[in-house]
Structure 1
């Protein structure tokens, strides 16, 4: 009976169906397991990649923050405020001064100072202070070489035009500081001090662009402080260049301005660091942010042979605080051509003392800030109403002011004032100093898009003259 009911085809179909279902389920199980393993592997790879990237970045977000501090052009149209025409002056007003550089100073040759388009000779002996790969970006740049540096850069500027009819601004590449400087320190007549300046204005005054607006769309860079060109009486110091009639409307860039003269713009003194790329600038900014500073403050300067010399007082306070203060004595000509000790002192110090120099400002202020050190001023005019295009109009954010009279009469200790500042306040001031660095450094290369001090100066000139 059982055999009679046996249907071979029925059982074969059933067996095949069961086998198919079994295989399908097995495949599904394997696929499910494989997908889980695949997801786990992908997840692990993501974690490994994240860990690798995190470990390859500097600690915290230094690189990111520093990059954000590098100013870049607002748009591709760099010349939206117009173009600049550069006068091709007779050689006696610029190139001849460089060719006769040995005669620019009565005591020693100035040929090194004006060499290399104003950058000067390459620096040496900075290996203990400067990262090795940045050494080629350092020069012994003279504090009064700005005229040569600006002329060289202006000839390569993106907004330079060779058509005076289309220009917004006209640049006069006269090396007034070099021309006048020959006669400042010896017994020369006012006629000798003024001769080159008067001759230059006579030449420029005969040009068609000058007659168009009587020089109101012209500008010049003065490599010395404004006071060297402001002789109002024959018996006084300097040249009378600024007071000559044809200078009445000319815009003037200079390393120190008269705060009450609206036609003067103060630009940063050239420092020794001239980065060849944005990357080098960023690296230096990161370096001075994290370097170990072993001194509370530093003073770099020499005594002056005068009664009540304030620099002498600062040297004495520094010597009295050997555990807190680091000093470089620049008496005589010791620091004239640069020394590695200056940057070593600033890099190793939290603060740097900045009394007035021959005028109210000092090149040392920018050397100090370049090292990431916080400047301490004793005269308001050393920083207030100066360098607003580059440092802003709130000096208290990146500096400390101590009244010199309180230091002079002994009622104020510089060390105690600086030690009273909280760690957070010091950190904020240093960060502000570092953030300003791209605006007061002069580049030597064209690698990158970041603006430097020269770019900000010319942008400001074009913007101002465009409004006229």
Structure 2
């Protein structure tokens, strides 16, 4: 969840900042959406997750409304330190609608014009832009970065790892990417064409490592 704080701090050091939003080419919204989402995902507002972001929009409508209306929000952007999939729960059409995991921030029509930087974006919404997780790798020069990229490209990698995480065991039939990844892995392992999948280059096609006991 530190991405929002890190990005905000870096923006405060940006040399081209202006105190007058009327002359700004882009307007950064220092809204910690990933942190705010916690109360809708786990807290007392669990059953009101479609309200995530409405307080922000109400603020934008009450504070310098002309700045938002100038381009209908097209020049506004924000950072949310959660995957986009956690923020695209369909808006309820009735109180009886089944609640899925996540909030509805990215489904609010009020923010369709704003650009949202997320840890993982969906493929089709133009306003979502994926940015990487914060890491400890910060090369001080372009030359060092390019040398690292070249080393990675030349490396012989026979094993690839994907972290799917736990959960996704519900039998409700609701969409769940973690369960889908594990089911696809099982499908490959049980395939009748296992030799063709291995192609003589790999020992196994897919293997699940269970780290639930703390030992991997």
Q: TM-score by structure 1 length?
A: 0.34
What is aligned with 1:101? none
For the pair 1:156 / 2:13, whether they are aligned, the reply is yes
C-alpha RMSD over aligned residues: 3.7
Q: Deviations over 1:347-406 (max 9, x none)?
A: xxxxxxxxx96599xxxxxxxxxxxxxxxxx8xxxxxxxxxxxxxxxxxxxxxxxx8586
Partner of 1:407: 188
| Pick aligned residue for 2:36 from 169, 175, 179 | 179
CA pair 357-284 structure 1, distance change in 2 beyond 3 A: farther
Native 8 Å contact 2:167 2:178 kept in 1: no
Offset at residue 283 of structure 1 (A): 5.0
| SS, match of residue 7 in structure 2 | helix
Query: Residues 414 and 170 of structure 1: is their aligned pair in 2 closer, same or farther, counting only changes over 3 Å?
Result: farther
Alpha-carbon offset, residue 203 of structure 1: 0.9
Residue matched to 2:77:
219
Aligned length in residues: 186
In structure 2, C-alpha distance between the alignment counterparts of 1:305 and 1:170, rounded to whole Å: 38
**Residue 274, structure 1, aligned to residue 55, structure 2:** no
**Higher relative helix content:** 1
Paired with 2:147 and 2:35, the residues of 1 have a C-alpha distance of 34
Task: Name which of 139, 143, 158 aligns with 1:296.
Answer: 158
Q: What whole-Å deviation, never above 9, does each CA across 1:239-271 have from its counterpart, x for those lacking one?
A: 222233421321222122222222222222333
Alignment of 1:424-463 (within 5 A): none
Secondary structure of the structure 1 residue equivalent to 2:159: strand
In the alignment, is the contact (CA less than 8 A) between 2:166 and 2:178 conserved in 1? no
Residue 201 of structure 1 corresponds to 57
Q: Structure 1 pair 157/415, CA: closer, same or farther in 2 (3 Å)?
A: farther
Q: Whole-Å Cα distance in 2 between the matches of residues 228 and 188 of structure 1? A: 15
1:205 deviates by 2.0
Distance in 2 of aligned mates of 1:272 and 1:302: 22
Structure 1 residue 177: deviation in Å? 0.7
Contact 1:407 1:414 in 2 (8 A): no
Partner of 2:111: 247
Name the larger-Rg structure: 1
Asked if the contact 1:180–1:194 (Cα under 8 Å) also holds between the matched residues in 2, the reply is no
CA distance in 2, matches of 1:184, 1:201: 20
Please give the per-residue CA displacement for 1:291-318, whole angstroms capped at 9, x wherever unaligned.
7x6x7214364774666xxxxxxxxxxx
TM-score, structure 2 normalization = 0.66
Contact 1:406–1:412 (8 Å) recurs in 2: no
Superposed counterparts of 1:20-419, under 5 Å: 144-185=1-42, 188-191=45-48, 193=49, 197-206=53-62, 207=64, 208-232=66-90, 233=92, 235-285=99-149, 288=152, 296-299=158-161, 301=163, 304=166, 358=178, 407-410=188-191, 411-412=193-194, 416-417=198-199, 419=201
